[in-house]
Structure formats: C-alpha cells, structure tokens
A and B are shown apart, each in its own frame.
Chain A
C-alpha cells in the first residue's frame, strides 16, 4: 500500500498542486472582493464579524471543494487512461484494491492540503480586514475541515467514476453538476450526499461529518469490489 502511494505521488503533475492552491485562493479572493465592495454595510449589519466571515466563506467552500474533488480525481485517473497504463499497472504484482484506494488517498491528501490553506487563508483574511487577532480558532477549523470530511462520499464516487469510465466527460459532468447543485441544496433531503459539505448555522454539523466518514468508506469499498471484478480492456 505504501509502495503504491509512493509510486502514485511520483506521477503527480505540478499543475495538480496549482489546483490545490487555486481552490482556497479563489474562495478567499472572492471574499476579498465581497468585503471590498460593501465593507461598511457588512460591518454595520453583522456585529459578529468572524461568524459572518465564516458563513460567507462557507457558501463557496462546498462548491469549490466538490469541483476540486471531481477535477483532481479525473486528472489522476487520466494519467492511466491516456496511455492505457491500466494494463501495465494491473499486470504488476499489485493488488487492484491498493491501486484503487491509492488514487482515493492521493486526492484526499490534496484536498486536505487545500483545507489547510483555507484555514490559514481565512485567518489572514479576517486579520487583514481588521477583525483583530482574537479569532475563534475552533470555528475556523470546523469551517475549513468539516466540509472535506463530509464530502468524502462524493470523493469516493468521483474516484470510482473517473477510473471505470474512460471518457472523462462523464465524471466531470457529474462532478460539476454536483458542485452547482450543492449551492442550491439547502432544501434538499438529507440523504443527498452533495449537500453534506454545506454547514448550516442553524443545526449541528457534526453528524454530517460522521456520516461522511462512514458513507465515504462504504462507497469506497463498493468501488473496490466493482473494480476488482472488471475486465481491463
């Protein structure tokens, strides 16, 4: 497993890392614009400055995250699709399960890096806007890392789709649709996994995080089972 991870990380192209950076950078920049345009109005209307900043940020975290997952999963799978390397890799003495799970872990790791960047970016933005150094650490951490964990089921789904479908239009369409949908999913039923990365101030988000972890593992396992019995063409 470790070997597979090591080999996989070798293949990662530099621009994947650029994407990892672009996600949080975009989310923070949008808020910079938001505050730049209507700073006085926002400051006048909402006395909880950090809380308001977090809820603004969160609106863009979910779609950004889902989009990032879809693009990175597809890119990582394309490495193999492009040159037909599946036949080469799977004819090596490596378990198919390891190959599949590795792809998942690498994307998950990249998304984690994005989340870390978002965490520090949020703090810097708040401080830069003059909210002071007395920031709510826990809430910022929740806002940065909960969506990622709650989004693991979507990641598992994207990885599976990207690997089994040679035509990357399919996983990308699903991924983009999911990202757009997540922005309007406030009233969607709770079982819709694309809704989970959104944190709603009005109810507790921890159950979604736990659910994300469990369902993520379930979907990943189903993906592995399916991948194992497939004929590689």
Chain B
C-alpha cells in the first residue's frame, strides 16, 4: 500500500442551507493520477477549493501529506501546485514575468522558470505579453505556474476546459508524464469521463455533493463489459432451451442478451440455437461505454442491474 497523500474525512461544505459538498472521503495515494469526476455543479470545485485552503470546510477535516491541513496550511501549500478553473495571469506582463511574480513569492531559484517553461514548451514565447497568447498557451502557462514550486501534489481543476482537441491532447500527454517523470501526484477534475479514461489511474465520482464511487479506473472499466444481443425467431423458447443448459440469459420482446461472453461461447450458443431449429437473425454487440456508466451513476446514484453483471 503506497503512502496516502490526500485524505479527507466527512468533508462537507454548506452554503446557507444548501449542502454543496456532503461527507466526502477522498483517498489519493502517491503516484496516482486521480480523476475527480462529476457533472457541473456536483461539488468538484468546492471540494478543490477546500483542499487549497480557499474555503473553510463546514464539517470534516483534511489530511495532506499525513498532516492536518488546518494547522499546517503554509507548509502543505508549499508542497502543492494548483490551477483552478481558468488560468490566472497578468495580461500586461510577459509569460516569463508572470512566472517571476510567482517565483518571488515561492522563493525558488530563477533557473526553475526556464525548467517549467521547457516542460510546457513555452520557452520560445516566454518574452511575449500574455495578452497575445492563445488559450492553449495560457493554459500551459497556468500549468507551468503550478509546477513552479516543485510540488509533490498537483491539483488541476478542469484544465482542459475550452481547449481544442489538439490542445486537450497536448495537456493530456503533459499530465500523464507527471508521476513517472517528476514524481508528482496529480488530482484532476473534469466533467468528461472520456477524458479521464485516457489519463487517470484512479477515479472518484461526485454527484450532488456526495462521493458515489472511488476506485481504480480498471474496476470502472470492467463494469463496461460488452453485452451480446441475439435476435431470434422464438425468444421465449430459445431462452428456455439456453437456461436449461446452464446459460445466463435475459431477454426483451425479440432479443436474447448474454453478458460477458467470449467469442467461442457466442459461437456455441448460435450452434446450439441452430440445432434447436431456432432462427438467428442478427447478433449484435452492445457496449456500455464508460460514459453510459458515468451517466447511470450520476443520474440515480446506483448502477442499474444490467451493467453490474460482472
């Protein structure tokens, strides 16, 4: 079991009477890329703001690097880097001067600016004023700023918001390389599961302020096992035959459904049905995408029965 870097216990935040974050227990281990997912307004940003000390939790506590955050705020923040929503910068200054203004506050050596510019590949444009930057470049500058203090934990809130596909791709590659190349643990929030699918090692899903899922991405992916739909001439009869032979089958009006079957098993089923004189019209594979599961999870809060078969 690797070291736990972020741990929250019963973390809650109430605005007036509205519970924006409700009893969230996050666990993020060293070396994770933790995808923090949820629809807009689910409480992602509020949770992140509490982790960064921008908001005070109404209830619960936060442990960062094994320390109580509330009592060691500056020390914890020194080990973290963050990019919350849109990157912030001073338009009239160049990219380099923007970093310099932060560098002075962080007290890191000047050479660190060149290093982070190199990481996000902005060295060439560092001298230009930021108002001339494209959105993707600004976002990269934001990442550079968050890396400036040699953080052990990087907290990114929707870093790909508003980027074009190539910008997203670029950002993704950058983030993916963080744990292996620089030993940085990453927490990244998003409302798009597909985005996380290609980056995250672990995911937490938050909906209506509650953390409804937290585990490795593989476990989530396993829930996305394909389903084989077979359209047959006599559904009820076919189902009866198959069930009496030990197959797990479900059905609707004119389809049989098989879960988690291998190619060979499908072939066997078809051969078996043909042998019983049942017409097989079509064989289709229905994939539950992660997106479907995400929607299911965040809609009702519970997985529906058909997708938990595995």
Contact = CB atoms under 8 A, between A and B. Distances in A.
A11 B93 contact: yes
Contact of B105 (A7, A79, A229): A7
Given A7-B105, A11-B101, A90 B90 contact: no
Interface residues of B, number: 33
Interface stretch (A57-65, A91-99, A132-140): A91-99
A88 B88 contact: yes
Contacts of A87: 49, 52, 54, 82, 84-85, 88
Interface of B: 49, 52-56, 74-75, 77-78, 80, 82-93, 97, 100-102, 104-107, 145, 149
A92 B90 contact: no
A232 interface: yes
A231 B84 contact: no
Contacts of B84: 84, 87-88, 91
B78 A93 contact: yes
A45 interface: no
Tell me whether chain A's interface is mostly helix, strand or loop, or mixed.
helix
Contact of A84 (B85, B93, B97, B149): B85
Interface of A: 3-4, 6-7, 10-11, 13, 79-80, 82-85, 87-95, 229, 231-233
A13 B106 contact: no
Contacts of B101: 7, 10-11
Nearest to A95: B74
Nearest to A88: B88
Contacts of A3: 104-105, 107
Contacts of B145: 88
A88 B92 contact: no
Contacts of B90: 11, 79, 83, 85
Given A84-B84, A87-B82, A232-B54, 6 more contacts: A4-B105, A7-B102, A10-B101, A13-B92, A85-B89, A88-B84
The 10 closest A-B pairs by CB, nearest first: A85-B88, A93-B78, A232-B54, A91-B52, A231-B55, A83-B88, A93-B77, A7-B104, A87-B84, A88-B88
B108 to A, nearest CB: 11
A11 B82 CA distance: 20
A90 to B, nearest CB: 6
B7 to A, nearest CB: 19
Given A83-B88, A87-B52, A92 B104 contact: no
A10 B105 contact: no
Contacts of B55: 231-232
A79 B88 CA distance: 10
A85 B52 CA distance: 14
B105 A94 contact: yes
A92 B55 CA distance: 14
A44 B28 CA distance: 83
A92 B77 contact: yes
Contacts of B75: 93
Contacts of B102: 7, 88, 92
B41 to A, nearest CB: 14
Contacts of A94: 74, 105
A19 B80 CA distance: 38
Given A7-B105, A11-B93, A13-B92, A91 B54 contact: yes
Nearest to A11: B90
Given A7-B102, A11-B101, A84 B77 contact: no
B49 A10 contact: no
A3 B102 CA distance: 10
Given A6-B104, A11-B90, A11-B101, A90 B53 contact: yes
B65 to A, nearest CB: 13
Contact of B77 (A6, A91, A232): A91
Contacts of B80: 91
Contact of A83 (B52, B82, B83, B91): B91
Nearest to B82: A91
A6 B77 CA distance: 20
Contacts of B88: 80, 83-85, 87-88
27 contacts: A3-B105, A6-B104, A7-B104, A10-B100, A10-B101, A80-B88, A83-B86, A83-B89, A83-B90, A84-B85, A84-B86, A87-B84, A87-B85, A88-B83, A88-B102, A88-B145, A91-B54, A91-B82, A91-B84, A92-B102, A93-B105, A93-B106, A231-B49, A231-B55, A231-B56, A232-B54, A232-B55
A110 to B, nearest CB: 17
Contacts of A89: 105
Contacts of B93: 10-11
A6 B107 CA distance: 11
B91 A90 contact: no
Nearest to B54: A232
Contacts of A6: 104
A232 B105 CA distance: 19
Nearest to A79: B90
A94 B74 CA distance: 7
